[in-house]
Amino acid sequence: EVQLEQSGVEVKKPGESLKISCRGSGYIFPGYWIAWVRQMPGKGLEWMGVIYPDDSQTRYSPSFEGQVSLSADKSINTVYLQWSSLTASDTAMFYCARLSGLWHTGVYLDSWGQGTPVTVSS
Amino acid sequence: QSALTQPPSASGSPGQSVTISCTGTSSDVGGYNSVSWYQQHPGKVPKLMIYDVSKRPSGVPDRFSGSKSGNTASLTVSGLQAEDEADYYCSSYAGFNVVFGGGTKLTVL
């Protein structure tokens, strides 16, 4: 069974840094892109970017380029989403999800993590 | 890149059919057969319902169907049931990136 296990609840102050994780199991982890999706309170889903764990290739949504950083450690089947300096507007639920299909022909998110809630408040 | 356009709400009575639209451009919805739909119940994780415009993952009832015409994709839920009440999001490949729709809240009356 494909599973994505995300790290737990985070409460941080503005200006602090943060790194959250997503660990995959039940499939060949390095062989699938992993996407990160933001959902702000009461709002819709937003595509942040993707990372390919095998070689750490990344592709960022223009809206998030330069705001966050994606990384991976394929030896432990884990990808990370990182901020260097949080602001209150980073308060949201963050999901990782496995990307299936092929670029150019059809991609979709077929398995999701449980989400990591992040609250940034002074 | 802009989000895909979905109606904020849709509704139907049990047993009826409802269709949710998702409008993009030739750079996303119209340019690729890569539209997917996700269902999200309140406080829950999104779930894949349709991929590649009209394919259903294993376990998704055949009451859910997808289609596309030009720059607009559609999700149709037939034989509405109470448990179909949820938020629905469309998504499309957009050139080495992906874009979501704003979401549609489906209410079963």
In the predicted structure, residue A72 carries a pLDDT above the cut 80: yes
Please write the tens of the pLDDT for every residue from A79-102: 999 999 999 999 999 999 999 998
Share of chain A above pLDDT 70, in %: 100
* B1 — pLDDT class (breaks 50, 70, 90): low
Q: Which residues of B touch A101 (CB under 8 A)?
A: 34, 51-52
CA dist list (Å): B6 to A7, A51, A114, B87: 32, 28, 25, 11
Angle at B83 between CA A100 and CA B104, to 5 degrees: 65
Distance CA A119, CA A48 (A): 18
Nearest-angstrom CA–CA distance, B59 and B56: 8
Does the CB of B37 have a partner CB in chain A at under 8 Å?
A: no
Backbone CA torsion sign across B31, A29, B100, A87: negative
Tokens for A19, please give them. 């790194």
Residues of chain B numbered 12-31 and touching chain A (CB < 8 Å): none
Q: Which of B34, B57, B102 is closest, CB to CB, to A110? A: B57
Helix ranges restricted to H, chain B: none
Do B80 and B91 touch, CB atoms closer than 8 A? no
Distance CA B85, CA B69 (A): 25
Q: Tens digit of pLDDT for each residue in B27-74?
A: 999 999 999 999 999 999 999 999 999 999 999 999 999 999 999 999
The C-alpha of B22 sits at a distance from chain A's nearest C-alpha, in angstroms, of: 14
